Amino acid sequence: MCSEEDAISAAGQQQLPNLERVAPSTPRTAFIFLTRALTPRTRKLARRLRSQVNDRASFFVCGYDEQNSVHNDAEFNAHIYNRRDFDRRFSDCHCHYQASGTAWQPIPGRIDLVRIAFSMDHPEYDQVWVCEDDVRFTGDMGDLIAALESEDTDLLTPYLRIPAKNWNHLKTLQRNETVIVSHDSPRAFMPFCRHSRVMALKMLQEYRAGLTGHFEYGWPHVAHQHKLKLQDLNEAWTKNRGQPLYSACHNDSMRGRQSFVFRPAKFFAVWPRQTLFHPVKPASVVLKTRTKPFCMSLFWRVSEQVPRPVKKIVKQLVGL
């Protein structure tokens, strides 16, 4: 008699499910709140989002926990995956993320495995919204979902653009350890996005065929190469509401004072209304991301005159 682990491993090796879309007359949508820990802060946000989206989508809490410290949660329908889950599900894939010569790691760059695992577990959902726990929308999330329901697309995501030649993750996209050179495949920024089940399973298929790389380049590349439907989130929202959903950077660094960026972090998001913000972090994290670059610069300028014990204490205080 086979064990549960054997059954999961066998399921990971079986043929891909049918990639045909669910008929438009029977749409099923899920909303994933993606978090690394169910803290009082993230629980409060999850409750608010659940109350807003319940009429439009099935609400789930998903995440990755290396220590497997979160199990079944009484309040939320939680799907918390760990390294063992990924090893069993994706053992035949080449989906490691090569950053600075390191082995594959779910965070950063490989957290899309949670999205793929969810679509494998839930074939009943044709469309899946993903919202990381540091994303805020200064409106009703249910209204946002409703406004974009009619957009027939496989990947609806912010920042669809051709990457700059010096983009950090450009050369991570590889097939069988050969760097993929593409001059027309876009990249994306995906803390908040919507993808189809077809898209998720196509990524699984590509990972099994030898594709690897940062997922925010891999997903748009695969969609583009396979003629799946790609759409920029800001363009879709502007078409429906006549104004942008977020203010965006016009450079490839994704750093600036706009509402939806990679960094620096923000204390809160209140105004303007109907706007998407990222990243919104606890005050301790915000202060660290804003002060650390300055502290590093100042520290190294005077480090030659600072005694080693003092230097060690300062480094610990500012997190250098």
Read off the pLDDT of residues 48-95 as tens digits, 9 standing for 90 and up: 999 999 999 999 999 888 766 555 678 998 888 888 888 888 888 876
Residues 147 and 91 in one domain: yes
What is the average pLDDT value for the chain, to the nearest integer? 82
Residues 160 and 302 in one domain: no
How many domains is the chain partitioned into structurally?
Answer: 2
- Give domain status of residue 283, yes or no: no
Q: If pLDDT is split at 50, 70 and 90, which confidence band does 202 have?
A: very high
- Give domain status of residue 167, yes or no: yes
Q: Which amino acid is at 283?
A: A
Residues 153 and 212 in one domain: yes
Q: Which of 98-107, 109-118, 119-128 has the highest mean pLDDT?
A: 119-128
Residues 177 and 308 in one domain: no
Residues 197 and 304 in one domain: no
- Give domain status of residue 278, yes or no: no
Residues 45 and 146 in one domain: yes
Backbone angles phi, psi at 6, to 5 degrees: -65, -40
> Closest Cα to residue 246, out of 136, 161, 150, 99?
136
Q: If pLDDT is split at 50, 70 and 90, which confidence band does 45 have?
A: very high
Residues 95 and 228 in one domain: yes
The confidence score (pLDDT) of residue 4 equals: 37
Residue, of 17 and 161, whose pLDDT is higher: 161
Residues 237 and 302 in one domain: no
The confidence score (pLDDT) of residue 183 equals: 84
- Give domain status of residue 56, yes or no: yes
Q: What is the pLDDT of residues 132-150, one digit of tens each?
A: 999 999 999 999 999 999 9
Domain with 302 in it: 288-318
Residues 47 and 101 in one domain: yes
Distance CA 199, CA 119 (A): 10
The confidence score (pLDDT) of residue 277 equals: 96
- Give domain status of residue 196, yes or no: yes
Q: What is the pTM of this model?
A: 0.81
